[in-house]
Structure 1
Amino acid sequence: MTIKRIHTGSPFESKIGYCRAVVAGGFVHVAGTVGQGDTVQDQCRAALDVIRKALEEAGSSFDKAVRVNYYLPDAAEFEACWPLLTETFGDNPPAATMVECNLIDPKYRIEIELTCLA
């Protein structure tokens, strides 16, 4: 099986020892991704942009998404992201889960993890 690893240059990749995405077994597995910004919407938009670029490098796209996990320290903020998510996935929404939990740094409001067909 061929495995392709996609790096974005995030400082966390080298500090923690992971890559943004791995293409293997017909799937693109995108690591939990946070974004920059002051609001949960800003961070959601930025995280989706990072994910979009990784998917493009992998030869995939959001319309091939099969599973997404959202992690937020405050579940009450999730609804503010819904319009961005429905716009991103359009007519091809994946199976989804939202989990309330602590993230790697308190400044982050949302982390998104995605699996797509390659």
Structure 2
Amino acid sequence: MSERRLIGSGGPWEERVAYSRAVVRGDWCFVSGTTSTASADPAGQADAALAIIAASLKEGGFAMTDVVRVRYLLPDAADFEACWPVLRRWFGDVRPAATMQECGLIDPAMRIEIEVTAYRG
């Protein structure tokens, strides 16, 4: 059985909620829901979250081109279209399976949360 490797980003929520930014198991990498409030607008937050995800994948030996599944979580579905250009820039050639869901997030300043699964087999 393959070893389980935990990747942290040093963010405060990981300690508070007891989770890892990413978990690597064999050829799989599961990246937790990732947010950023570096920008007030959803597209800026999406771009910043995807940069955090890319860094976590890289630390685990993966790349954005390995992403096979992505979930977008937004408190307001109307904000999703503004994110499309950012998502095309990150995933235009990758074209992972994707889902967008409207739901509440832990902080009202967060406009989008993104979770990915990557496979490098």
* Alignment correspondent of 1:33: 34
- Secondary structure of the residue aligned to 2:94 is coil
| 1:45-89 Cα deviation digits (max 9, x unpaired) | 110111010011011111111100000000000011111111101
* Alignment correspondent of 2:114: 112
* Alignment correspondent of 2:86: 84
TM-fit CA distance, 1:26: 1.6
Q: Give the AA of the match of 1:81.
A: C
Distance 1:90 1:4 in 2: 29
* Alignment correspondent of 1:56: 58
TM-fit CA distance, 1:90: 2.3
* Alignment correspondent of 1:20: 21
Distance 2:60 2:111 in 1: 26
- Secondary structure of the residue aligned to 1:96 is strand
Q: Which portions of structure 1, spanning 4 or more consecutive aligned residues, are displaced by more than 6 angstroms?
A: none
Q: Give the AA of the match of 1:46.
A: A
**Structure 1: 5+ residue runs without aligned partners?**
none
* Alignment correspondent of 1:65: 67
Distance 1:46 1:107 in 2: 14
TM-score of the superposition, structure 1-length normalised? Answer: 0.97
| Percent identity between the two aligned chains | 48
State how many pairs are aligned: 118
How well do the aligned residues superpose, as a CA RMSD in angstroms? 0.8
| 1:24-45 Cα deviation digits (max 9, x unpaired) | 1421000000012111111111
